[in-house]
Amino acid sequence: MKFLYSLVLIGSAAFSLNSCKKYEGEGGKSSITGKIKIIQKLYVDGDLTQTESFNGAKEDVYLVYGEDDLIYDDKIEANYDGTFTFKYLQPGTYTVFAYSEIFHKGNDATNNDDDYYTLEPVSQTFEVKKKEDVDLGTITLIK
């Protein structure tokens, strides 16, 4: 009986030590900051006529934990000045991305409105260390 009790105690101790490994995600003391800048292009009849640049207020910014994820794990909205911060992260690999809207000109047929836009991600993948504040700088999106 003592042998069985000792075996269970050792097994549970080994399991608890193994399960304490920290993975990417919330619960740490690291953070990621950056800023979104928008370059807006105005097209008339398929031709670029004007370009404006401004801060990316209210743009959605996505965060992926680790390298194997295909779906984002966290999403925030950029502040009025385009800045964003993901706080309280564990050390590990992360990817931050946001979407640009890319214009594609159609076939130029008369009275044929076949111009279209596609969403294309602009991303950065990087390592975060323990208690590190990572500044990504400016991420430029085209709209």
- Per-residue pLDDT tens for 57-89? 999 999 999 998 889 999 999 999 999 999 999
Does residue 82 contact residue 64 with C-beta atoms inside 8 Å?
A: no
Residue 139 carries which side chain, given as an amino acid letter? Answer: I
pLDDT of residue 17: 46
Token pair, residue 55, equals 């801060």
* CB count in 10 Å sphere of residue 15: 10
Token pair, residue 16, equals 């608890």
124/131 Cα distance (integer angstroms): 20
Q: What is the mean pLDDT of residues 83-110?
A: 91
pLDDT of residue 29: 96
pLDDT of residue 105: 82
Q: Residue 114: which pLDDT band, with cuts at 50, 70 and 90?
A: confident
Higher pLDDT, residue 9 or 134: 134
DSSP 8-state code for residue 56: -
Does residue 122 contact residue 95 with C-beta atoms inside 8 Å?
A: no
Does residue 28 contact residue 59 with C-beta atoms inside 8 Å?
A: no
pLDDT of residue 54: 98
